[in-house]
């Protein structure tokens, strides 16, 4: 699905991924394991070669984002990119389940770590807040995970928030409280406030509806009405 010139969304379940045309193709996240072929087919359908992928940027370590990174790296030669804090999780060196806030999320993170060991992959480029990959600026947004990042395309006016926006939004709207999969809800709200300060029109999350107008204002209103009033950060 073409969003604007040079930006495409590949709809997967449960988390979609994005392709950004830059000097090299940039793939943002990779979905759960098993979608490698679909991603490659989409790239060919665009008239591009999978070898055109220069960077595979992972917004955080959860399996619905890193699931095909290892295979895609092997096939395309693209470099895997993530925040430096997130790298040990993506490489399988850090025990992810220790970051679960409640017992059943710790259990699910442990199961995921054990079942999907073959998905772990080396991170070639380790980012810090403000670093750039092509025209995409990395913004460190801890909360959902310790090393979550959002990506800002300043030239196109697009924010790719990863799971920082949609998960929080979905759980709060359903009045179920903060996202149980988030490592630190207080930090997540601080990160949302951080994202609200940037200027962008389009907001392109991985697993919920896209916002095509006044994206930054959408986040600002969300923080004002939901985060400060509904989240217990104790």
Q: Is the pLDDT of residue 234 over 80?
A: no
Q: What would the pLDDT profile of 138-157 be if each residue is shown by its tens digit?
A: 999 998 899 999 999 999 99
Once rounded to an integer, what is the mean pLDDT over residues 183-189? 82
Which tokens belong to 218?
A: 């959408």
Half-sphere exposure of 171 (CA within 13 A, CB side): 17
Percent of the chain with pLDDT over 90: 62
Q: Is the pLDDT of residue 173 over 70?
A: no
DSSP state of 224: I
Question: Residue 143: which region, alpha, beta or left (left: phi > 0; alpha: psi -120 to 50)?
Answer: left
User: Is the separation of the CB atoms in 14 and 207 below 8 Å?
Assistant: yes
Which tokens belong to 230?
A: 């509904």
**Residue of higher predicted confidence among 148 and 14:** 148
215-222 and 185-196 helices, crossing angle to 10°: 140
**Residue of higher predicted confidence among 7 and 189:** 7
Which tokens belong to 153?
A: 């395309």
Q: Is the pLDDT of residue 184 over 70?
A: yes
Contacts of 42 (CB under 8 A, 6+ apart): 8, 10, 19
**Distance in angstroms (rounded) separating the CA atoms of residues 88 and 128:** 14
Once rounded to an integer, what is the mean pLDDT over residues 22-28? 95
Range 2-162: architecture per CATH: 4-Layer Sandwich (3.60)
Once rounded to an integer, what is the mean pLDDT over residues 47-52? 97
Q: Is 91 exposed, middle or buried (0-12, 13-18, 19+ CB in 10 A)?
A: middle
pLDDT at residue 223, as a whole number: 80
Cα dihedral across residues 188, 192, 194, 200: positive or negative: positive
- The domain locations on the chain are 2-162
| Pairing label, strands 17-21, 158-160 | unpaired
pLDDT at residue 164, as a whole number: 83
| Helix %, strand %, coil % of the chain (to 5) | 35, 20, 45
Q: What would the pLDDT profile of 63-111 be if each residue is shown by its tens digit?
A: 999 999 999 999 999 999 999 999 999 999 977 767 766 756 777 776 7
């Amino acid at each position: 699905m073409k969003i604007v010139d040079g930006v495409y969304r590949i709809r997967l379940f449960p988390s979609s991924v994005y392709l950004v045309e830059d000097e090299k193709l940039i793939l943002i996240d990779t979905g759960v394991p098993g979608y490698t072929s679909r991603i490659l087919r989409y790239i060919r359908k665009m008239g591009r070669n999978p070898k055109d992928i220069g960077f595979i940027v992972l917004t955080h370590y959860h399996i619905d984002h890193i699931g095909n990174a290892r295979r895609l790296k092997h096939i395309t030669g693209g470099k895997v990119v993530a925040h430096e804090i997130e790298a040990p999780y993506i490489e399988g060196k850090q025990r992810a389940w220790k970051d679960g806030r409640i017992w059943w999320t710790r259990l699910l993170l442990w199961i995921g770590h054990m079942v999907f060991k073959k998905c772990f992959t080396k991170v070639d480029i380790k980012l810090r807040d403000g670093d750039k990959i092509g025209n995409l600026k990395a913004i460190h947004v801890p909360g959902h995970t310790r090393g979550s990042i959002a990506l800002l395309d300043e030239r196109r006016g697009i924010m790719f928030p990863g799971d920082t926006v949609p998960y929080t939004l979905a759980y709060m709207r359903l009045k179920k409280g903060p996202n149980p999969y988030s490592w630190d809800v207080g930090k997540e709200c601080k990160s949302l406030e951080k994202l609200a300060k940037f200027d962008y029109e389009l907001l392109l999350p991985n697993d919920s509806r896209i916002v095509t107008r006044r994206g930054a204002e959408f986040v600002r209103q969300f923080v004002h009405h939901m985060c400060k009033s509904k989240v217990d950060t104790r």
